[in-house]
Structure 1
Amino acid sequence: MKYINYILIVLGAIVAIYSKAGEEQNQYVLIAGIIILMTGVYRISKTIPSKNSEEEYTEDNEN
């Protein structure tokens, strides 16, 4: 399942770069590439635990 996130990031980057490669930049393809890229980044960021919430939790228990 996590490989889907990486595939989305790579695919989005390739699509965004491809849209800028030609002389006439296709803005719709660029927007689609950015959306795919950001979807992959968002899905990965959901799986990373927040460091701040852990620190606040331990500080509250120490006092």
Structure 2
Amino acid sequence: MTSRLNPDDQRRVDEYLKLPQNRVDRQPFRPLLLLLLVLVVVLVLGLLSRMLAGLVTG
């Protein structure tokens, strides 16, 4: 993607982003872990709703 900034402004932005206080080390994205987390949350909420329904109707 080309920048809409002029070269001097783009250079200043690049220098700013390279400063240590502006860098964030991130762990790699793990989609399977996210999928597992979503499945666990859905399962727990489903079980909780069944337990509550059993208390109300039982």
Provide the TM-score with structure 1 as the length reference: 0.39
Which structure: larger Rg?
Answer: 2
Higher relative contact order (CA 8 A, sep 6+): 1
Q: Which has the higher helix share?
A: 1
